[in-house]
Amino acid sequence: MIFRFFAWHLAHEDHGFSRDPRCRIFLMGENRWHGLPDWPVPGAVTTRYYLHGGGRANTALGDGALSLEAPRGKQPPDAYTYDPGNPVPYVTDPVKLQLGEATDQQAIERRGDVLCYSTPPLKRDVVVCGRVFAELHVSTDAPGTDFTAKLVDVWPNGRAIQLCDGIQRAEYRDGLEQPKWLRKGRCTRSRSTCGRPASASSRATDQAGGEQQRCA
């Protein structure tokens, strides 16, 4: 594929490149390439997932849930204490991440300063293909801080592999021109871009046997 690309653009030689599809994506989970006529994927739909919780979404064993249904009425906020002396580590080497390496997040999701929201076991294949955003409504007693989000594929054995992640410095949530410091007790909207994964999660064989999607 790489040879045909450079031969076409640098040497003006056609070794089948002109007949290749305009777009190729690799679906993790299926472990194979797909040829597409265009990008974004024709027929793809934007899907919204909503965070649910009873105020105890800390760790993967908390009560956080990820659902296609919007919350009905008010729910108690989920909270954590951030310790600058013991920050949540980024366990994936950034260089290896650019090459497609994914890392198990189970150790991170056992921390009390990590909020986790998971779907029930999937009953059908779910393909995540395109840009992923995380929109949070947050309140903090710090004038400035970072909020991060990960989309994680959870295996039936508990293994949690990140598909993509993003970070937003809260005081620059509206642009880099000028910081807008946070006010204690005021709820603020923060939106981060988590990348463009192309992933496929396997179909469940029974109610308890499928993979899950998780936002942490």
Burial call 51-75: b when 16+ CB within 10 Å, e when fewer: bbbeeebbbbebebbbeeeeeeeee
pTM of the model: 0.85
Domains annotated for the chain, with CATH where assigned, are: 1-44 (no CATH), 47-215 (2.60.120.260)
Find the distance separating the first CA and the last CA of the chain, reported in whole Å: 36
Q: Given the structure tokens 């919007």, which residue do they identify?
A: 70
**Each residue's pLDDT tens digit, 99-153:** 556 789 999 999 999 999 999 998 888 888 888 999 999 999 999 999 999 999 8
